[in-house]
Structure 1
Amino acid sequence: MTAPSDFTASLSAAGRAAYGRNARKRAPRARQARIGTGPDRADAIEVIERQSATRVPELVPIRYGRMLESPFRFYRGAAAIMAADLGPLPNSGLTVQLCGDAHLLNFRLLASPERRLVFDINDFDETLPGPFEWDVKRLAASFAIAGRANGFSVGEQDEAVLTCVRAYRQRIREFAGMRTLDIWYAQDDADRTRELMAHSMSKQARRRTAEATARARTRTYLQAVGKLTRITEEGRRIAPDPPLITPLQDLLTDPSDDAQEKELHGLLEDYAHTLSSERRRLLRHYRLVDMARKVVGVGSVGTRCWILLLLGRDDDDPLLLQAKEAQESVLAAHTGGAPYDNQGRRVVTGQRLIQTTSDIFLGWTHVVGLDGHGRDFYVRQLRDWKGIARPDTMDPGLLRLFGQLCGASLARAHARSGDPIAIAAYLGGSDRFDRALTVFAQAYADRNEHDFETLAAAARSGRVRAESR
């Protein structure tokens, strides 16, 4: 798979549009409704078991337990299954830097380095160049699945999907007419977005949206420090909550053995070299005082994730970093792209390319563990002004509005990394692509429920072990 927009960059605007229209021959828009069927489909449980084989064994049952809480939670952990389903299908060949896991909960309010609140994509563990429609399909299906979880009618689910995909198509068409630098600088400022959408909201929806924005501004790194740390005789340290948060010392068979502590100090030192010089100097104002293993998310459970507590002037001057293991993207086997020398660097490069404002401490490193295995990590602040959507509390109208936000935000990310002129020409001015993806979303929601039940049966039979944590 070639890098985003490398081929079309040498063409005129008219040539790029023609290239996009010709992509309809490879993947007709109406055929985007198909999810693919047949006996050759990969066994869903085998797919996630292959992922689990490289993860911390004692944490894998927690991953399965979280996936079995609901079909939507299962979907959050099943990016590898969907990648295996999308890979064999005909695709447009219009390459962008994919998020790789573009479900609706991976869009949220975030803090920019300039301390503005913006709406953007948040998760990049699976980011990789690939056909633009793979992200749109994963996002569309997530709205159908969320609508089902809320008990919405099929019509209400379809409206949420249609609104999302229409917003993507219309905004890509807007970007197709913009200057390149204007596309790069485009942001979805939270306050401006709320103002633009206010006319479509009920009074209650406006109030809830304003409250969500206010809550996001309270979710600072200091709030995370207050929740995850405590003052001890040695000073501020990470508060244990095993197995979800386990201090390093509690993981050591010999507490006097400082080999793993040296390993993590090395992780921090190597990671610092991937920061720009001024941010590396900022990091030097802090000293590492504690570290712990943390269980995160749904699909990421079982990957090695560390939280690192650093202090500046004193206990009231903290910095919490998260060092998360980066494994090969679930898309890699289906894109044919060249392998990356460091999966953490892949995540960071993808994030910097498609997110408008990335964390100032975002970087990567490689560590050889005590078991002799080398592992890649990416590092960022644990939390800073994050507002997380709660689709379970949304009525059909609010879910549609959230779909509009997510679809438009994904279009902005794709326009930065791909060719908006070619993609806009492929999509066209009609709703043919929108309607096709509505059919796809419902069909894939059915498949997701089947796979969810398959995992439940595997847990009942003892094929996999699931724990609720």
Structure 2
Amino acid sequence: MITASADRTRRERLAEGEALREETPWDFHAPWRPAPGRDPLAILAESDAERLPDLVPRRYKKMRRNAFTFLRGAAAIMAADLAGSAMAGLPVQACGDCHIGNFGVFVSPEGRVAFDINDFDETLPGVDFTVDLKRLAASVVVEAMAETDADAERARELAIAGVEAYRAHMHALAAMEPLAGWRSGIDLDEEVARIDDHRSREEVESDLEAGLAHETVEADVPEVDPAVREGPPASWRIADYGRKVFHRLPDGDDEPVRDAAAALARYPESLSPERRGLVARYALRDVAFKVVGIGSVGRVCAVGLYADADGAPLFLQIKEARESVMAPLVLPGHRISASGGERVVEGQRIMQAASDLFLGTARSPASGRAYYVRQLKNHKLSDVAEMMSRDGPKRYAALCGRTLARAHARSGDAAMIAGYLGTGDGFDRAVAEFALAYAAQTQADHAALLERDA
């Protein structure tokens, strides 16, 4: 979905975006008012029926931890809440679950270390750009208050920093030729060099080096069972690891693992010939269930252990793909053309500067479940993003804002979005006000969950 026009100049599109402010002024984005009869816990419960019953309690346990973990698992609630909010009318390929924890560090197919959005379970085209931006800003506020006890004024500053960076970078992208904008990315080395504290910078650099040294996640969970690690790769098995990695559900059922394995057998069919040839150099040795994230808990998510005859390992993650919670937010006149794993893969390829080398789709011949497949995240590289966010939260919020702008500009009209945003801080402050109000709502929703489960 590319919405920019080749027949209108950049100046014309900037003016068109600016004109949209008359229909939806910036201050329309500031208020948050819950709809009559709003029931956030009922929205959460709607998806429980499509999750594995044994794992649903784990989802709620994670969401009870604090307001930020609640927000992370509540993409469906926020989508429902934003359905009646102000929209600029400028569509993009939306991440759909654009919170500050869904940005990270990984290795591109060319071997470069990249910073980008890294979760696309809810991605969808034809969604107003403000939807992702409001969720990002709200997550910045909620995370700051829940994890660092920041006060409202400090949280507001962080939200403004993220939105301001988005706006400034969108203007920069709008000024570029299309190919230059498409090729643009985030220079992680520059971001790391900006870390003021010498010890923190060295720690980040050390984890980057370690992550690159173990690009196949050989030294992370999951891992090859030590009991068979020294034997022939054909006998390798994934080591069970408590409540995170296991071959059978708590009730003893192994159907989800068998289903994921059957889908993985068909997965190479979705790849281009050269990538299919790469996967063919490895053989699938074992499959185990892996509990990940918060919003995904209860859906089928597994990891496949691959290895060649010489013992070179490769871990691929396979995740069940359901309908996006963003579906009600698609702007009029925009059609959703892909579903299931294809929806996720298309969205990721559009939004990321460089997508996973092993990204593909699969469908189980037995259950009909739709899946997408990617390389398992390297936790050493994931740690880098977490350290950067702790070291400089304002700088990190701005980094996420710039990254989101680049992702949106690949599908949306950067000039029209820049025209709507303007060059002042009026829009930034309006979204920050919304973020503060929605953070208070999230805290109340989290409290309601605690009260229900007390």
Fold match (TM-score > 0.5): yes
**Contact 2:204–2:388 under 8 Å retained in 1:** no
SS at the partner of 1:394?
Answer: helix
**Contact 1:219–1:386 under 8 Å retained in 2:** no
Q: Distance in 2 between matches of 1:67 and 1:409?
A: 26
Report the Cα offset of residue 457 of structure 1: 1.5
**Contact 2:67–2:443 under 8 Å retained in 1:** yes
Question: Is 2:136 the counterpart of 1:109?
Answer: no
For 1:382, the aligned partner's letter is L
Question: Is 2:156 the counterpart of 1:139?
Answer: no
**Aligned with 2:153 (options 152, 155, 177):** 155
* Aligned residue number for residue 176 of structure 1: 174
* Aligned residue number for residue 354 of structure 2: 357
**Contact 1:230–1:238 under 8 Å retained in 2:** yes
**Contact 2:257–2:288 under 8 Å retained in 1:** no
Report the Cα offset of residue 436 of structure 1: 0.5
Give unpaired runs (5+ residues) of structure 1: 461-469
* Percent of aligned pairs sharing the same letter: 38
Report the Cα offset of residue 260 of structure 1: 7.6
SS at the partner of 1:273?
Answer: helix
Q: Aligned in 2, Cα 1:277/1:79: closer, same or farther, shift over 3 Å?
A: same
**Aligned with 1:277 (options 273, 279, 282):** 273
Q: Deviations over 1:65-123 (max 9, x none)?
A: 00001111111111111111111112011011111111111111111112211111100
**Contact 2:15–2:419 under 8 Å retained in 1:** yes
Report the Cα offset of residue 392 of structure 1: 11
Q: Distance in 1 between matches of 2:242 and 2:226?
A: 18
Q: Aligned in 2, Cα 1:153/1:313: closer, same or farther, shift over 3 Å?
A: same
Q: Distance in 1 between matches of 2:189 and 2:161?
A: 21
SS at the partner of 1:136?
Answer: helix
Give unpaired runs (5+ residues) of structure 2: 229-233
* Aligned residue number for residue 235 of structure 2: 235
SS at the partner of 1:113?
Answer: coil
CA RMSD of aligned residues (A): 2.5
**Aligned with 1:416 (options 400, 405, 410):** 410
Q: Deviations over 1:336-360 (max 9, x none)?
A: 6544553101000000001011111
Q: How does 1:49-68 map to 2 (within 5 A)?
A: 49-68=45-64
Deviates more, 1:235-244 or 1:212-221: 212-221
TM-score (norm 2): 0.91
Report the Cα offset of residue 240 of structure 1: 1.5
SS at the partner of 1:458?
Answer: helix
Report the Cα offset of residue 22 of structure 1: 2.2
Q: Aligned in 2, Cα 1:214/1:402: closer, same or farther, shift over 3 Å?
A: farther
Q: How does 1:249-264 map to 2 (within 5 A)?
A: 263-264=259-260
Deviates more, 1:438-447 or 1:21-30: 21-30
Report the Cα offset of residue 363 of structure 1: 0.2
TM-score (norm 1): 0.88
Report the Cα offset of residue 9 of structure 1: 4.3
Q: Deviations over 1:122-176 (max 9, x none)?
A: 0000111210011111111111112112112222211111111111000000011
* Aligned residue number for residue 399 of structure 1: 393
Q: Distance in 2 between matches of 1:303 and 1:251?
A: 16
- Number of residue pairs the alignment of both structures matches: 443
SS at the partner of 2:294?
Answer: coil
Q: Distance in 2 between matches of 1:301 and 1:340?
A: 26
Q: Distance in 2 between matches of 1:238 and 1:423?
A: 47
SS at the partner of 1:169?
Answer: helix
